[in-house]
Structure 1
Amino acid sequence: MDRYSILDQGSHQATSDNGPSNGDQPSASVPARERLRFPAEDGGKSLSEMAERDLDATLQLLTERAQYITGAAGAAIALREGDEMICRASSGQSAPELGARLQVNSGLSGESVRTRQILRCDNAETDPRVNQESCRLLGIASVVVMPLMREQEVNGVFELLSDRAYAFEERDLAALERLAQMIQTAIEHAEAARRVQAEVGAEIESAPADPVTEGSPPETSLAGEAQPDVEEKNVVEKVEEQSETVVLPEHGKIGKCQACGFPVSEGRKLCLDCEASEREKEPELLSQFAGQQQSWLRSHLYLVGAVLVAVLTVVLLMLRR
């Protein structure tokens, strides 16, 4: 699928007719596993590639969380690449495929990007901002589109799709906003890795090469590789210092809620919703305890009365003496 445009009025979802399908394509040979390399050995490419893989994994996790929390039939995250929005994470049958280009020049998605506001379509049959024909074909009845903002610019969109009309409420929009903050944190880490890659490449290119003395072969290690000289060691030390300063400590690591599995910041055990539900349970426990006390008094009313009479009798006898 080249373009995903069910949210656009007057446009249709295009399919690729050229080339063989996935079943007709020959299976590619599995490449040999390469040796793990330090970022300085390949110009920082390994660090950048790891950051991209982490970003894709984080986006996929957040997409699946959004679908689970809101009960949506599909969820998708698209990020801007040049002038286009490319789907980077997808969950659910009604969501676009990975790599699909989202049409954001018109329709509900275009209006959300233009106004920089969260937009909700409660009924695709009556909302003129969506492509009703495509929605019927895919079984989509309600949609939520949220722009991903960074420095007053839209760098992506977050979409929820449902096969039921009026499926999304305000609490679903609030959950989507919290997930969007985690998306921006993951994007910042990936961009920081790209900056380190550029700095490492510049350091390696600017490092002077020591001339080899005539008649003396370069020293080799047991693996047959040339030993790094002093300049290369200095470059590696600089790369280590730069890679340490790239980490954003204020964002921390992303954990999971012990109750529902929702992504939470480091140090937290429960998400906001689970904490609120725990607070609501406390008065219920107190009321149950009070109810148990009242029921015990009622069932042992005669026993309590007999004990009180016996105590009063003993007190009167002691006073008479």
Structure 2
Amino acid sequence: MSSSNRIFSAALAAVLAAGPAAAAVLEDVVAKVNGKPLLLSEYQKNLRSVLDNYQKAMPEIMKDSEAVKELRNKVLDQMIDDEILAQEAEKKGIKVHQREVEKGILEVQERSFRQDAETGERRDDKAIEEALRKELAGEGLTWEQFSDRIRRQLLIRKAVEAEVAAKLKDADEKRVKAAFESCKSVVNGSTEALKGLPEVEVSAWGGFAMRLKDTHSERVRVSHILVKLPAGSPMTDKTKALEKSKALKKKLDDGADFYEAARADSDDQESAPRGGDLGWILKGWMPEPFEKAAFSLGVGEVSAPVETDFGYHLVRVQEKKAKEALNLE
């Protein structure tokens, strides 16, 4: 997802467990939620951002028509979820102040634009804003429209937090424990506790559980050097790619710096300027061979070449965080 839209998925569940209610397809409107239309133009902007991100990070997926169809459905589902929560927030009179919007914009700038993706250099504050404005212009968004998006997502985040907090307000110990166990079961993948709940509560609990899972699961921060190999390549190309990956591994074993090697030799144009840094990953986020290597390595270790649909990877673990148990206390 492009930088200006990353806040969309940070605080909320991606899809409701059941299909959204009261949605009807109309001309120039992709759906209606309780009478309010979701515009085709807004859907197309959101979809373009998601598809552009996948095209850069995982281009092979874009060749799979079923995967693209699933992405299209998820973008629409996310818009419907957001609208349900936004409407609920408005009903409850939840407000977002201008200073909160400004803080949200600063967070996006710091997280996504502080480092130049091409050079790896850190930008100053003026250059950060210029980079953000340039990306917004490329997406056909004004600064005011972007600010409205941030405001809306902060509103939705507050609605999620208010919904969960309301469940625990003035509750006795038994009810608190029951609510905690329900949340814990959702974190572990069960939807039993959500059956029969209104859609807004399903979304609230789902989003809260996802955030808990993200903050408590085992994770590793990884970098990689990719030797790209298109799917279906002939054996001769596959052999060349593997030999290149092995040669890079030998260079690293002989003392070469991983950061500089990734910048010079990795075929992943997105991460190469950062020395191959992919950030923190959880289990289930990456192709299975890559994930298996990442979670089995020690800090500072580099894997042998790992084959995925994208080619051969040399995986290096930078940091590790152990899984934390969910405790009521």
- What TM-score do you get using the length of structure 2 for normalisation? 0.19
> Which is greater in Rg?
1
Higher share in helix: 2
